[in-house]
Structure 1
Amino acid sequence: MKNTDIEIITSIKALLTASKLKLVIIPHENPDGDAIGSALGLGQTLKDFGHEVKVLSSNDYPVFLKWFSTDVPVIIYDKEKKKAKSWLKEADAMICLDFNEAKRAGKLAKKILEFEKKKVLIDHHPYPTQFCDFMVSETSYSSTAELVFDVLEATGLHENLSQKAAEALYTGIVTDTGGFSHNFSKNTFKVVSELLNYEINTDKIQSSVFHNYSADRMKLLGYCLNEKMQVFPEYRAAVISISKEELKRFNFKSGDTEGFVNYPLSIKNVVFSALFIEKEGHVKASFRSKGNFPANEFSSSHFNGGGHLNAAGGESDLSFYKTLLKFTQLLPEYKHQLLETTI
């Protein structure tokens, strides 16, 4: 954790080990495997230390991530507002995971900013805003789950790590690295080797995360690849777009489009991929790239987003059609950069 002062770690240790607390852990909106894995892995460890812990998520997370053995309760704000508000009032401290600014927590953003007790941030996304008292922001990490493990180790709380927690943290790392296909380091495998000491069932995790989809999801994927994918070989780019009507036609459930943006990168010579999904009032955008093409800079410059070099997200307030048009009209501006991208 080269960017985090020892004083920050010392303060977090003092906060989380001095006495038993009521803690609320908040992942980003639309939690993915890293967000929910980090939250449950950290939550389980803190619970086993003796704290009372609840994870509070702005909205629900995908069905294929609901198999964890951890017994930390997850409150979905969209469905249980009264219970969520009650726990926010009771909580002695808040831990925010896997997002770099309050607005990334969706409907909980205001609650986070209004929370008057101590707040901790643990995250691996670049350019964090100062909205917590103690911030651990390390962009060299593959995932927040990997970073959580090192924070637990640095504070001595890793002594309370269990198989349940290790399972969740491993899942966070596996999902954010695409099954160890990108954005990993020597430290990633060091942490994974430590997690394997807890005898987690990696075959079960792999199957639950990557081979646990509905037939409707598979049909939607086939439809997108066959009917909705546009390839621009002159720019080494591709895009997939999905309208609200198309989502409805395939009985869309949260998480069904997870990973769709990666598929065009399997095409020879494509180094930049985009996915646009029409939502109520906005269009959700996801970007992936290979090599040195900065997906995060493209997203922050044009789609009110950000993220990592090769993986970023954003959104558009334009109509679905105009958003797609905007993307295709931007490609000529990046032609030289895309053609010069090295892998």
Structure 2
Amino acid sequence: MMNISDQSQVEIFKNYINNTQKIVIVPHNNPDGDALGASLGLYNTLVELGKKVSVISPNEFPDFLNWMHGVNDVLIFDKQQKVATEIIEDSELVIFLDFNALSRIKVMQPLFEKDETPRIMIDHHPFPEAQTAEVQISVPEASSTCELLFHVLSLSGLKSSITTKAAECIYAGIMTDTGSLNYNSSRPQTYHIVAELLEMGIDKENIHQMLFHNNSFDRMRLLGHALGVKMQRLPEQKAAYIDLSKEELQQFNFKPGDTEGFVNQALWIEGVQVSAMFTEKNNMVKISFRSRNGFPANAFSEKYFGGGGHFNAAGGESKLSLEETLKRFKLVLKEFCDENGF
């Protein structure tokens, strides 16, 4: 069984679900498969229970997630701020999924710094901030928030309300956050839940087709450019990285989600233990890190790039230019590896 350190938090979740009708679900900014999968998995389950539910995302999500049931009902806060704010203010309960700090919801942060609606957080990232929610169900060893959500629903006696459509969303989140069970998936509990989801009648082949084999021509060309032109190795640090400028993204008609999974590619290279991806945005550089062989990606990101995450999968950002960010990355990676014996 999954180790939820404070079972009373699950009881509070259960009581809230049983005694509230108007519920809002919020994923993090730039929602990925786990964030949206958990949100729509819970959304479909609560709708089955007869609740009035709204999913409000801070901003747009990638096109490859558009197949999930309920996706057309998701409100995008930065485009529908007035109606979304009214729904939040009228709600009886807000559930945060796949994040543990208000800073992760960007444009929605000021609203929730003032809003007094009861809040529950379900998340698998380490070191949750106390002010995020009054009720916090946090299990960093879970492969994904979707896995944790399934467990919470089961402990709450709500497993029978997880419809096949909800199960497909939950399965998608587990698959995207583990790279189809390639990483962060060593616990037997993960596979037990996958088996239960299969027993619920999900279409596994179709889900994988939609998630991983449904790329646009432009995305494949961008991947080829990233691997063939932009990937660089740092042999002494057993590292490799890819950087993409705004101009390069525009050249390949970039859409949100097009670089999903690019950072994992370098870990397929023999001898590489650290992979980094640098993507230039309008006023910052978004950074993703992946690692193996005991290299703490989260500690490295937190120390040098104001980020964090999981031991082998973390993110950060830089306010420097792309060129200056890369220069700093090479310096601090050498420093970190020398200091820690990598």
Interval of TM-score (by shorter of Structure 1 and Structure 2): over 0.9
User: What letter is aligned with 2:67?
Assistant: W
Residue 78 of structure 2 corresponds to which residue in structure 1? 78
Q: How far apart, CA to CA, are the structure 2 residues paired with 1:147 and 1:41?
A: 12
* Cα displacement (A) at 1:110: 1.7
Tell me which residue corresponds to 1:290. 292
Two-structure CA RMSD over aligned residues (Å): 1.4
How far the C-alpha of 1:240 sits from its partner, in A, is 0.5
State the aligned residue count.
339
Write the distance in 2 (CA, Å) between the matches of 1:212 and 1:240: 23
Q: Partner residue of 2:54? A: 54
Once residues 295 and 45 of structure 2 are traced to their aligned partners in structure 1, the CA distance between those partners, rounded to angstroms, is 38
Note the C-alpha offset of 1:6. 2.1
Aligned equivalent of 1:221: 223
Q: Is the 8 A contact 1:26 1:55 kept in 2?
A: yes
Give me the identity figure in percent.
Answer: 45
Give the unaligned 5+ runs of structure 2: none
Asked if the contact 2:22/2:91 (under 8 Å) is kept, the reply is: yes
Which consecutive unaligned segments of at least 5 residues does structure 1 have? none
Work out the CA distance in 1 between the residues paired with 2:222 and 2:325: 21
With the length of structure 1 as denominator, give the TM-score of the two structures. 0.96
1:308 aligns with 2:288: no
| C-alpha contact 1:291 1:310 (8 A) present in aligned 2 | no
Q: CA deviation at 1:72?
A: 7.2
Q: Which residue of 1 aligns with 2:213?
A: 211
CA distance in 2, matches of 1:336, 1:270: 16
1:328 aligns with 2:327: no
SS for the counterpart of 2:236 is coil
Which residue of structure 2 lines up, in the alignment, with residue 177 of structure 1? Answer: 178
Deviations 1:44-77, CA, capped at 9 Å, x for gaps: 1011111111111011101000001347720011
Q: 1:327, CA displacement in angstroms? A: 0.3
Task: Tell me the alpha carbon deviations over residues 114-139 of structure 1, each in whole angstroms, 9 at most, x when there is no partner.
Answer: 22011000000000001201100001
For the residues of structure 2 that align with 1:222 and 1:338, how far apart are their CA atoms? 34
Inter-partner Cα distance in structure 1 for 2:269 and 2:327? 22
Cα–Cα, structure 1 residues 337 and 190, in superposed 2: closer, same or farther, change >3 Å?
A: farther
Contact persistence 1:236–1:270 (CA under 8 A): yes
CA distance in 2, matches of 1:294, 1:335: 11
How many angstroms apart in 2 are the aligned matches of 1:53 and 1:125? 25
Residue 258 (structure 2) aligns with:
256
What is the SS of the residue equivalent to 2:325? helix
State the AA in 2 paired with 1:254.
P
Matching residue's letter, 2:221: K
Question: Distance between the aligned counterparts of 2:305 and 2:146, measured in 1?
Answer: 27
Q: Match for 2:144: what amino acid?
A: S
Q: Which residue of 2 aligns with 1:34?
A: 34
Q: CA deviation at 1:337?
A: 6.9
TM-score normalized by the length of structure 2: 0.96
Secondary structure at 1:69 match in 2: coil
Q: Distance in 1 between matches of 2:113 and 2:5?
A: 22
Residue 339 of structure 1: CA displacement?
6.7
Partner AA of 1:2 in structure 2: N
Structure 1 position 289, deviation (Å): 0.3
Q: Which residue of 2 aligns with 1:144?
A: 145
Corresponding residue for residue 68 of structure 1: 68
Aligned position for 2:278? 276
